[in-house]
């Protein structure tokens, strides 16, 4: 059992976290303006339409930026240091923060990554690993 934070789903995000448990990463596309958004929300931040469709991303992305964390924010992360926190661009320019599960010195901006999953107290948490390794 990890002491690391487990996402606590809200009304807006429950479905997203449920589908993570099926190994699927969904984002929302506005049925009016077509704007794609992440994190899940009941309102399109582009046009305020309240209807959307879910689309599934294929799990391929690239590292927009990253940092190697040496000083953990909380005790729960201390044993993991140094670890990589990255901003990953997926789909149509959607940015997602997650860890890249790799040796820190292997990671560079622009690297291709693919989705993987971490079991955190029964919740599947999206993570990334370097592609083609």
Partner 1 sequence: MWVCDGITHMGSTQQVAVTGIGESPIGSLPDMDSINLYAAACLEAVDDAGLEKDDIDGLVTGYSLVDPKLMHSTVVTDYLGLNLAYNESLRLGGATPFAGVCHAANAVRQGQCENVIVAFGDNRQTGFKKGDGVSSLATEVGHPEFENPFGPMVPSLYALIAQKHMAEHGTTAEELATVAVTCREHAAMRGAGQQTEPIDVNDVLASDMISSPLHKLECALISDCAGAVVVSSSEAAEETPSPIELTGYGEGHGSEYIHRRDELLQTPAAESGTTAFEMADRTPDDVDVAQLYDCFTITPLLLLEDLGFCEKGDGGQFVRERGITTDGDLPVNTHGGELSYAGAGVFHILEAVRQIRGDAAETQVDADLALAHGVGGVLSTNATLLMEGW
Listed ranges 26-34, 48-56, 96-104: which one lies at the site for partner 1 (CB under 8 A)? 96-104
CB 85 within 8 A of CB 113: no
Choose which of 20, 27, 44, 98 interacts with partner 1 (CB under 8 A).
98
Alpha helices in 21-125 (DSSP H): 75-78
Site for partner 1 contains 120 (CB under 8 A): yes
Site for partner 1 contains 5 (CB under 8 A): yes
Alpha helices in the chain (DSSP H): 14-20, 75-78
Site for partner 1 contains 95 (CB under 8 A): yes
Closest CA to 28 of 51, 6, 48: 51
Site for partner 1 contains 96 (CB under 8 A): yes
Q: Give the C-alpha separation, 70 to 82, whole Å.
A: 5
The separation between CA 42 and the C-alpha centre of its own chain, rounded to angstroms, equals 19
Q: Which of residues 45-74 bind partner 1 (CB under 8 A)?
A: 64-74
Site for partner 1 contains 9 (CB under 8 A): yes
Contact positions vs partner 1 (CB under 8 A): 4-10, 13, 38-39, 64-77, 80, 83, 85-87, 95-99, 104, 108-110, 120, 125
């Amino acid at each position: 059992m990890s002491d690391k934070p487990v996402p606590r789903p809200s009304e807006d995000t429950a479905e997203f976290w449920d589908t993570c448990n099926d190994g699927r990463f969904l984002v929302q596309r506005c049925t009016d303006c077509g704007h794609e958004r992440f994190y899940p929300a009941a309102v399109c931040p582009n046009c305020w339409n309240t209807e959307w469709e879910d689309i599934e991303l294929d799990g391929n992305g690239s590292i927009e930026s990253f940092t190697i964390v040496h000083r953990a924010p909380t005790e729960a992360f201390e044993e993991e240091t140094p670890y990589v926190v990255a901003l990953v661009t997926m789909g149509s320019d959607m940015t997602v923060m997650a860890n890249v599960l790799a040796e820190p010195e292997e990671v560079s901006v622009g690297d291709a990554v693919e989705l993987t999953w971490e079991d955190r107290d029964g919740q599947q948490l999206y993570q990334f690993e370097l592609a083609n390794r």
